[in-house]
Structure formats: structure tokens, C-alpha cells
Amino acid sequence: MAAPAAGRLLPLLLLFLLALLLVDDDAAAASSVTYDNRSLIIDGRRRLLISTSIHYPRSVPAMWPKLVAEAKEGGADCIETYVFWNGHESAPGQYYFEDRFDLVQFARVVKDAGLYLMLRIGPFVAAEWNFGGLPVWLHYIPGTVFRTNNEPFKSHMQSFTTKIVDMMKNEQFFASQGGHIILAQIENEYGGDEQAYGAGGKAYAMWAASMALAQNTGVPWTMCQQSDAPDPVINTCNSFYCDQFEPNSPTKPKIWTENWPGWFQNFGESNPHRPPEDVAFSVARFFGKGGSVQNYYVYHGGTNFGRTTGGPFITTSYDYDAPIDEYGLRRLPKWAHLKELHKSIKLCEHSLLYGNSTLLSLGPQQEADVYTDHSGGCAAFLANIDSENDKVVTFRDIQYDLPAWSVSILPDCKNVVFNTAKVRSQTLMMDMVPETLQASQPDPWSIFTETIGTWDKKDFIQNGFADHINTTKDSTDYLWYTTSFDVNISYPASGNHPVLNIDSKGHGVHAFLNNVLIGSAYGNGSQSSFSVHMPINLKTGKNDIALLSMTVGLHNAGIYYEWIGAGLTSVNISGIKNGTIDLSSNNWAYKIGLEGEHYSLFKPDQANNQRWRPQSEPPKDQPLTWYKVNVEVPQGDDPVGLDMLSMGKGLAWLNGNAIGRYWLRTSSTDDRCNSSCNYRGTFSPDKCRSGCGKPTQRWYHVPRSWFHPSGNTLVVFEEQGGDPTKITFSRRVATSICSFVSENYPSVDLESWDRSVSDDARVAAKVQLSCPKGQKISSIKFASFGDPSGTCRSYQQGSCHHPSSLSVVEKACLNINSCTVSLSKEGFGEDICPGVTKTLAVEADCS
């Protein structure tokens, strides 16, 4: 009997040994993530990291692989994202992790790309996201006060944080488990608000740090803009510039969690765009001053679908008319320029992380940060922080040209491989190419018109005004306030109109008198409350007033921001015979939401709802109207935007997917816009504005993955009135490319540069042009070698112009996808303008 027993034990023994091997493999794959004052240390090696933000619910899963791949191709080592609590927990204990909110799948995409992940759990995130990412229901838990030493708030915050950490642990995503999450963040930008909460603020911040550490993730935790972050939590910087930032302990590394390459845009405000030269300047200064982790804070994917915008008044997605794209890192200005910057910084990595630093003065506003290591390596960052004057400086007996507000990078303390102000990379010009909706059925349109005021039984009646947000709990943007009053004569009686006066805490109102829209009013991004005065006509007897109050995204940050209300505060009618009629204390009937919302008319399964009325031609300029139309897929694979220029304000859906709010609000014509943008000098949100006098957002991103091969349905709810027949899809297409390169630009090939090879024989600078894949350079619209001026699409010849400029460029570039033109004697012959620094400016069409 002994032999058969041994035979049975052998397979069990083999399984046991295999299990041990698997455990050993997992342990070997685990990474150690620690830090010292120089950087994060991953598996015993100091690391210099470039990161960029991709907020997963601001794009769709079909976009994630491309977004992440473009980040990696551009030099990113790491992806950063917030975790959006109110997108994941719609009610206490009811979780959602699907579609755009599939955090695990997004993290897996990042891991599969071979990139690290910085997980900013918060769970307060601000982020121009509705209610700062906190669920609205949390505000209505009895006794709850946000972001202070409040037990109900802390209890729910800890539960959600633990939920996210456990999900990541279950997938073995933390580096300590062999995964790719190397940093986690608790809270967000609390340091500026902490004092306002008194002792409770300090206690809360310390509790948050302790609670995070107790999660035992095995990776460091950060708190951004939190100067009192306790050890071992790392306090980090968020700003346009972080070169002067120092952590609160000499044992912590210098981390920049948010480099703001632009600024959020409010409906009704012009667009602020940060020049790429200044973004590069800030990054070079940061790493030159000992920084180790830098994250570009931009919304790749870039759309707040549905009703997720916060602010309020922040646009649904960044304007397609701006020099950005919703795909990947192209949202950063001149990403190719920053890509070269990243390569240049990585050439200095060993010296920066292991060398001794020395600061040398090169002039009144010029300096050199020099790093020398024990192996003989040397790297230098030469900076000219003069915002007006170019300078020539001497460093180690060699003269260097430093444009104003720029940094030159010398990975060997001798050769300049990059200057932040000298943009060698091309400019890719994008245009929105319109296409019709291609509605081809006999009766392509259907409409439904909302009932003005109470469309079903009243939700409740009360004397005076209920707060809008407390009533809707953000289940909808809309709340009807209705009442009636009598007058004994009609007005105007003697030429003077009575006036309807409305005060509101925000965010907007449409006013209807006797079922006629008489006017609308709104707050703005800096002040959501407003007052409005509307001349009106009154009839003898009973008059009905229906006021549709609206929100456009709840406040996303600020001290006690959860208590900021919305809705009406005062309504009266002045200018009548017997004085003012005060309606504020009237009985007001309340109705939450719209009838179309109640019946979910935007959902595909409601396409045949009997409330839809087919129309061969839809009505125009009609308020409170729902439109439904069958549309075809726009051709090609270019990004698609919904052009709403012909409409007013409302909501849109494609195949039941919420595109989001649209609002064709026009910015002021004198809203500090400039015809040109000077990169030099400190950037602020008021600098480099564009788009004055134009709608602040015209195109709204529609992901390609939302389209079916056929049978697509577009639903639009229009509040004010517009012309739906002029709605179009537009494809974002690269139509032209430009380059502007001078002889004195760095000419080093960053891919093959070797510090051991002398650069005494300087290679000529060159223009490199490349159309998108599948396109060719079809024509050269402008070419001048000499001293041209201007910007892309508006270049001009200067007093020095080589007569063969056009023919040289055409010979090198026409009818091919990409080309290189050298600014050399071999290319252009003898110097026709001695003493002039030559520049080659080119504009070419792609097709």
C-alpha cells in the first residue's frame, strides 16, 4: 500500500513546488519605490520622470490606447489621473466602474504600454469637474461638512479611498506588487484652504495623510500644495512655474504634480493659451533647479461629457477652434517642441540625479545650473530670465547666444542640444471641415416641445423660494418656478412698460410670461449670481409667470463650497400704477426637470415614443424644443466635432451618449485679447487670450466609437431657439504645415547624439516638414530664406530674401510625405546677405 500512496503524493508535491516558484516570480517582479532628496528611487535607481495627465472619463475607452501611446512616443514615462468619486458612487454603496469610468481597464492600458501610473485618489479633486468630484448625496448626509475634521465626511472618504486602493491591490497594480502605480495622492490643493477651517482643517489634513499611509500600498503618497504634509508624505507643487518650489523636508524630492500648459475657459470668456516656448522654459528651469518628477496637467481627451463640468460656467470641452486637438498630447501647444525638450533633459539624467550642483552667475539676469558627477559627466542649464533682452553669455570660455526668457541645455557642459525659445519643430495647422448631417429619410426630423411651467403634477408648493440645488440635488440642470398674479388694467397703459425684476444666486434663468419667452439672464465664471430687469406687457386679469432656473455645473472648489446655492431670491414687478408687485412671498409651484428628461427622449429605446412628432422641416427659433434626426457617420477617421453655431444653449446626445451641454455664448470684444502672443515673461491666465467677440465654444467632441455603421440618432434639446438645419458635423483635419528655423538654432540630432564626439564642426540647422500619415505635401505656399517675419499662414518676406527659396523647397518636398531642407551653403549657395542671421520660413499644404 505504500507505493500507491507515494504515487498520489508526487503530483501534489510538484504542484506545491510550482506554487512556490510562482510566489517567487511575483516577489521578484515587485518593485521597491522609495525616495531621497534627489528623486524617486525605483528598484534602487534614482529616476527622473516626465508625466502627463489623461483623465479617463474625459475620453472614451476606444481612445485610451492611442492617447497613452502618443504620451509615450512624446517622451512620457508616466500617466497621471485623478479618481472621480461622483462618477463611481452615484449613491451610498452603489458603484459604477464601466465604460468611461472603467478605472481598472484604463490602468491596464497604461500598464500594457509600459508606463508608470500616478493615481491621484483625492477623492476631492477640483479638476474643473462637477462638485470637485465629490458626490452630491454626501452633502445631504446629516451633519456632514466637506474637507474638515468631520466624522461623516471622513468616514465616507475613507470608505471610498479604501475601495479604490483595494481594487488596485486586487489587480496587483501597485509597484510593490509588481505593478506600475508608483505614486498615490490623498486630498488635493488643501493647503490654501486649511487655515479657513481652523483647528479642524489642520486635524483633517493630518488625518488624511495618516489614513492614506494606513492603506499599505507600498508606494509613496503625495499631497499637492500642502506645505505641512507630514513625513513621509511628499508635498508637491502645482503652478505655471515650480523651479523655486522646495519641499518641506530636506529628505523629500521636488515633484511638480501640475504644470499648467493653459488655463480653463469659462463660457463667455476668451481663450487663454500658453505659448510652447514658455511651457518649455518652465520645465527646463524646474529640472535645472533639481526637480525630479514633472506632470503636464492637461485634459487629453479633453471633454467633460454629459453634465460633469464644474466651475460653474466652464466649457464642456476645450474649443476645437483653439490650437489644440482632442487626441493625445497634441493638446499641449507644440508637443513636438516639448518632445525634443524631454530627450534633451534625459541626456542629462545621470548628472542631474547623481552629480553635485553649482549655481554660477553669467550676468545680471543670467545664470548657469551646473551638475558634475564622479564619473566625469557634466550637464548645464544656461538661463536668461530677462523677459526683454537677448544676451550673449560666456560659460567655460565659450560664448552662447541666449534669447530672452529662455534656457539652453548642455548635456556635456559644452554643446547646446536644445533652447526653449528656438522652436525647431513644425507647426501643424488644423481646420474644421464641415459635413452635412446627411439626414436622408423622407421625414428625417422629429420634434417634441416642452410644456412651459408645470408639465405634470406639481412636485410641491411653498411660499417664497426654495434653493435650486437643494431641490434638484443636481439630478438635472432645470427647475421650474411658477406663480400667477392679477392686474386690473393692461400694461403698458401710457407708453411705459412695467419691468420684471429678478435676482438669482445663479446660474441662469429663462423667463416666460403668459407662455411667451421674454428674456434670459446668466451669471458668469467669476460671479454666478445675477440680477436682470425685463420690460414686459401685462394683460387685464390673471398673468402667469414661469421661470426656468438652470445650473451649468456645480462649484468645484473653495472654502465650504458645498453650501453655495443657486436659484431665485427675489422677483417683483415695478412700474405699474399701484406701485411694485412683490412676488417673492407668493405661493410658488415647483417642478423638477424637463418632461423630455422624464421620458428619456434622448435614449435609443425612445426613438419611437409617441411624443416625437415627425416633421419634414423642423421649427426654427423656437424655445424649449427637442429635435431628433437620423445621421450618417462622417467620412474618414479624423476626430469629429458637432458644430452648434446655429443654436443657442442646451444639451446633445448621439445614440444615447451624452455629448454634454452646449452654449454659444459670445465673449466680450474687449476681453483683453491680443493679435499676437509674446512668450517672454511670466504667464498668467490674462495673457495670450484669443477669440474675443466669438463664441467661446462652437464645436463639441463626438467620439468616433459612438457612431454605428448606420442608423445613428442625434438628439438635441434647445432652450432658447436656433436653426437645427444648420447643425453639422465637422472633421478636424491637418491641412497645412509650417516651419520657421534660423541658422543659430541647435542642430544636434537628439536620437544619435554622443557626448564623447566633439561638435567643433557644427552641422547646419534644418527645416523638417511632415504631413500626417496618408497625406503628401501638395504645394508650397510660402518659402523665404533670409529674414522673413510673421507667423504660420501670415509669413512675409524681409529685406533679405534668397530668390531660389521656393524652388529649393519645392525640389526637396513636393509630392512626398516628409522632407528635410538644410540651411546650408550646399542648399542655398553663397551668402547673399552677409552679417544677417538667416531664417528659413516655409508654409506647405497637405492633402
User: 70, 80, 128, 189: which is the annotated catalytic residue?
Assistant: 189
Q: Where are the alpha helices (DSSP H) in 253-293?
A: 276-288
Among the listed residues 383, 329, 377, 330, the one whose alpha carbon sits nearest the alpha carbon of residue 355: 377
Handedness of CA 390, 392, 395, 398 (dihedral sign): positive
Residue 551 CA to residue 522 CA, distance in Å, equals: 10
* Assigned C-alpha cell, 195: 487655515
| 8 A C-beta contact, residue 277 and residue 244 | no
Q: What angle do CA 67, 68, 72 make, to 5 degrees?
A: 120
Q: What angle do CA 357, 360, 365 make, to 5 degrees?
A: 130
**Does residue 258 carry a catalytic annotation?**
yes
H/E element holding 480? strand 478-487
Give the three-class secondary structure for 248: coil
User: 80, 89, 194, 258: which is the annotated catalytic residue?
Assistant: 258
Residue 12 CA to residue 128 CA, distance in Å, equals: 57
Handedness of CA 721, 722, 727, 733 (dihedral sign): negative
Please list the residues that pair with 777 across neighbouring strands.
Answer: 846
Residues 6+ apart with CB under 8 A from 595: 448, 450, 451, 455, 456
Task: Report the Cα–Cα distance between both ends of the chain, in Å, rounded.
Answer: 83
H/E element holding 555? none
Separation in Å, CA 794 to CA 789, 791, 807 = 9, 5, 20
* Assigned C-alpha cell, 130: 462637477
Residue 470 CA to residue 554 CA, distance in Å, equals: 12
Give the three-class secondary structure for 500: strand
Residue 73 CA to residue 409 CA, distance in Å, equals: 21
Residue 144 CA to residue 153 CA, distance in Å, equals: 6
Q: Which position has the grid cell 533670409?
A: 786
**Does residue 189 carry a catalytic annotation?**
yes
Helices 151-170 and 199-213: angle between axes, nearest 10 degrees? 20
DSSP conformation letters of 388-449: S--EEEEETTEEEEE-TTEEEEETTSS---EETT---S-EEEEEEEEE-----SSS-EEEEE
Residue 697 CA to residue 664 CA, distance in Å, equals: 6
| 8 A C-beta contact, residue 136 and residue 192 | no
Residues 6+ apart with CB under 8 A from 516: none
Task: Tell me which residues are annotated as active site.
Answer: 189, 258
